[in-house]
Amino acid sequence: QVQLQESGPGLVKPSETLTLTCTVSGGSISTYYWSWIRQPPGQGLEWIGYIYHSGSSNYNPSLRSRVTISVDTSKNQFSLKLSSVTAADTAVYYCARHPHGDNSPTDFWGQGTLVTVSS
Amino acid sequence: DIVLTQSPGTLSLSPGERATLSCRASQSVSSSYLAWYQQKPGQAPRLLIYGASSRVTGIPDRFSGSGSGTDFTLTISRLEPEDFAVYYCQQYGSSSPYTFGQGTKLEIK
């Protein structure tokens, strides 16, 4: 059974860069597409972007100028960097797997990690 | 971007009743790349339905999805206590970005 676990700071200062890592266990990061999705407190879901094990990526245009997603196949991890954060970036951040290519929904999710942007 | 509008925002029903949740897209969703998720408080979303009508392995058959083009429906035939949660639709077609509806909260009446 594939498991995903997000890790990173729970508090980030405004204007700084949010960095999170998703560690995949119980399976290889290769073959699949992997996404980051976020959910502000009490609100809905927003797709941030995905990456393939080859390094190919695609981002939500609304965040593209600030987002970088990278993959480290040797560690079975992929990461999210979101720059110039503001309070509007406060959210629970999830990592998730696309089982059948980029045109598939996400079947396995991490438990999520709350990131608060505040000075 | 494809905007997904879910209705109603909140649905109040009793266990044993039938629930019908709607998801309407601002433009046609290619190849019925439409999914439904269930989210309970403090948990990650759980995939229920993909391809508009295909149920994920292990999801009870009281959950069913239908629709195509711009109009999609999630039906729960007989509500169980554990079904009360928030439900999201999502389109994941080639019309990036992937987008979610705003959610329908299914609450106990």
CB of A116 within 8 Å of any CB in chain B?
no
Interface test with B, best of A45, A52, A60 (most B CBs within 10 A): A45
CB of B44 within 8 Å of any CB in chain A?
yes
Instruction: For residues B6-28, give the mean pLDDT.
Output: 97
Dist CA B99 CA B91 (whole Å): 6
Confidence of residue A100 (pLDDT cuts 50, 70, 90): confident
The residues near A76 (Cβ < 8 Å, ≥ 6 apart) are: A23, A24, A25, A28, A29
Dist CA B101 CA B99 (whole Å): 7
Instruction: For residues A78-86, give the mean pLDDT.
Output: 98
How would you classify the pairing of strands A3-7 and A18-25?
antiparallel
pLDDT of residue A10 exceeding 90 = yes
Cβ–Cβ gap B56/A58 under 8 Å: no
Note the Cα B14 to chain centre separation in Å. Answer: 19
Cβ–Cβ gap B31/A103 under 8 Å: yes
Lowest mean pLDDT among A2-6, A112-116, B76-80, B93-97: B93-97
Higher pLDDT, B12 or A31: B12
Instruction: For residues A36-54, give the mean pLDDT.
Output: 96
Dist CA B18 CA B13 (whole Å): 8
Instruction: For residues B42-53, give the mean pLDDT.
Output: 97
Dist CA A22 CA A4 (whole Å): 6
CB of A94 within 8 Å of any CB in chain B?
yes
Cβ–Cβ gap A44/B44 under 8 Å: no
Cβ–Cβ gap A62/B101 under 8 Å: no
Note the Cα B58 to chain centre separation in Å. Answer: 16
Confidence of residue A20 (pLDDT cuts 50, 70, 90): very high
Predicted pLDDT of residue A101: 86
Q: Is residue B45 within 8 Å of residue B35, measured between CB atoms?
A: no
Q: Cα torsion for B86, B87, B91, B92, to the nearest 10°?
A: 80
- A58-72 pLDDT, tens digit each: 999 999 999 999 999
**Chain A: residue nearest B45 by CA?**
A109
CB of B10 within 8 Å of any CB in chain A?
no
